[in-house]
Structure 1
């Protein structure tokens, strides 16, 4: 019996593979190849001058099309899917594409994989169109129980279609600081990055208000008074793959000037460099707002063996075990609790290391790309 053919349709925002893509493309790039040979997958994505129109991502064929006009992109992908003739079409994070592809491919099973709440919001899709898209989906995969709840609130009739499949992390790239290789690389990177002798608290992500970096910077002066060796490293920019600044990112720089050399900004870095930044650090902070669906940075930091202090918001409370792999803080008392928890961790080396080991262990048990692939296949085999 031939394996089930499945088409994975990315939004067309970034090419695959790319070191500058968003988490949507990264999830597809990492877990889809692990589905072979149980299924025959094919990926559809954005064209790039540096990539052939048709190539391979690991062992999976990837077809690439111009995506500056989304309607044209959807039409071209739809034509390519017809040639492939899959049994299932999975749309990544764009509900608006579901109904278009459903109309163009009657009789095919349409799945929707939601990576965030952004594209089910009124800015991108009306409530009526969202309901139509969700009810046209045979399965709706979400990356957290948080998103499951958000979808059910908006379209209760879609509840029976929902399945949670957690994203993962490449534990071969994001190595533990407690492994021999990780310990050596941590020392090397701390020297190269000028971090030696500092207690490093790191934020990695987009510099947008939702991510809450301003809360971290508000408490740095108090934290630095208690810990003179403190260094807060902010890695990221407002936009993926760009060094452009916004009024918000400029306001963060103004806040940092009050911290007298305790804060270092590192502009956007390609994803392959993220692991070394986490490995070089002591604590990761994720002070995001309520809409943080999952947050791959949480599991990436944990894989490197460092504790994470994050808000108890969105899907993050499904990742971090409070008091065991890090701390979850009340969003309503964010700055007060963030100061307390960071102070506690900076004072206690043994606590940081225990939580770091626990973090790595939890990732290996639950949050690898192999786990993601297995969960997806479970949905297929229901």
Structure 2
């Protein structure tokens, strides 16, 4: 088949400026290209050519200001059999006009209306054009079906994953090497326990709650540091009022908090290896944060909130602790104290998570599941 992946216009692909969607496409497109003719459309970036062939994939990039019109022109001329558009349901109607005979797949990474702001009438019409709607979590799937009755049969949950080769578990030789490297960079002693936050520094991500919890942890758990990896937006180190408040709170904890600011995608695995416990204190209706997959790949125990799709990866297993009182810093401290006091328990949780990504939550499984869906929808269309 001739397949087009249309990236959202929030960032370039591959993710030279970060982005979960951009990373996902950059990893699965070469796997799909082993059996199909694959073209990826994304916005331009000075670090990337406007046209290239790499990994068996054709990459075509347009300036953001003219991105979607140019994509439609390419789709109209390209005779694609299947088109997969990421997180832009509003594009489906025009894509259907550009390629009336193609199968249209919509990959949803956020909630329609809540995050993806759309007119309700327009959204309903566009979604009817999709042959398949893929969602990153059951939470997103249920929300979508509730808002658009009749989509049940063509909505499918497709959990994503990681490239396990890019993450070194903390007990591996490479993991130990990375651990020493990052800890030396930030003067973190070998016997200090490190809590890790990775994400955008905005209030809905909840980093302030870990800082509040740290006040109690610093009194009860001995030598513990908090490593905060991220900035207010991908590849953007600009200050913000929220970041200033975080730093003011960190001042009260003396030298127990380290801010790294923005870290390139390829460096992120090293920061996981340098840490002991990963925390996702998300406060919003998180579709399902990909940092959970990354933490499991690095062999870290996960502490996350019962928000949106985040708990779905950890039902009935020992890889994570779920915080239901997600607005209460004391709830974080109550979960973290036992993990800090019992490294063996933390290790067991981390190994359970690593096993899960090796078996299930990896990009090869994502590509295989997509292939099956492509074949199923194509066969149905031919009947």
Q: Which TM class, normalised by the smaller chain length?
A: over 0.9
Question: Partner residue of 2:220?
Answer: 226
Alpha-carbon offset, residue 316 of structure 1: 1.4
Give the aligned partner of residue 151 of structure 1.
Answer: 144
Aligned partners of 1:243 and 1:267 also within 8 Å: yes
Q: Corresponding residue for 1:247?
A: 241
Residue deviations 1:62-96 (CA, integer Å, cap 9, x gap): 111111x2xx3111111112232111111111111
Match of 1:370 in 2: 364
Say which of 8, 12, 33 aligns to 1:15: 12
- State the SS of the aligned residue for 1:356: helix
Q: Which residue in 2 is equivalent to 1:272?
A: 266
Distance 1:323 1:137 in 2: 35
- Report how far residue 241 of structure 1 moved: 0.7
Q: What do residues 183-238 of structure 1 show as CA deviations (whole Å, max 9, x unaligned)?
A: 33323433333222211001000011211111111111111001231101111111
Decide whether the 8 Å contact of 2:198 with 2:230 is kept in 1: yes
Take 1:57 and 1:215, find their aligned partners in 2: how far apart are those partners? Answer: 43
How many residues are aligned here? 375
2:195 paired with 1:178:
no
Residue 309 of structure 2 corresponds to residue 315 of structure 1: yes
Q: Does 1:52 align with 2:46?
A: no
- Tell me the CA shift for residue 175 of structure 1: 1.5
1:18 & 1:333 partners in 2: Cα distance?
32
Question: In structure 1, what is the equivalent of residue 125 of structure 2?
Answer: 132
Give the unaligned 5+ runs of structure 2: 377-383
Question: What pairs up with 1:185-200 in 2 under 5 angstroms?
Answer: 185-196=178-189, 197-200=191-194
- Which deviates the most, 105-114 or 341-350? 105-114
Unaligned runs of 5+ in 1: none
After superposition, the CA RMSD in angstroms is: 1.7
What SS does the corresponding residue of 2:128 show, helix, strand or coil?
A: helix
Normalized against structure 1, the TM-score is what? 0.94
- Of residues 247, 262, 285, the one that matches 2:256 is 262
Are the aligned partners of 1:19 and 1:272 in contact in 2 as well (CA < 8 Å)? Answer: no
How many Å apart are 1:57 and its aligned residue? 4.1
Give distance in 2, aligned partners of 1:174 and 1:122: 30
Given the superposition, is the C-alpha separation of residues 33 and 253 from structure 1 closer, same or farther in structure 2, using an over 3 Å criterion?
Answer: same
Q: Deviations over 1:317-354 (max 9, x none)?
A: 12235661120110456423211111010000111111
- Higher mean Cα deviation, 158-167 or 187-196? 187-196
1:169 maps onto 2:162 in alignment: yes
Offset at residue 154 of structure 1 (A): 1.1
Quote the residue 1:39 is aligned against. Answer: 36
Cα separation, 2, equivalents of 1:89 and 1:123:
20
**1:130–1:85 distance in 2 versus 1, CA, 3 Å:** same
In 2, Cα distance between the equivalents of 1:135 and 1:347?
Answer: 53
Change (3 A) 1:14 1:334: same
Change (3 A) 1:260 1:188: closer
Tell me, in whole angstroms, the C-alpha distance in 2 between the residues paired with 1:37 and 1:150. 34
Change (3 A) 1:321 1:355: farther
Of residues 137-146 and 31-40 in structure 1, the stretch that sits farther from structure 2 once superposed is 31-40
Does residue 351 (structure 1) correspond to residue 350 (structure 2)? The answer is: no
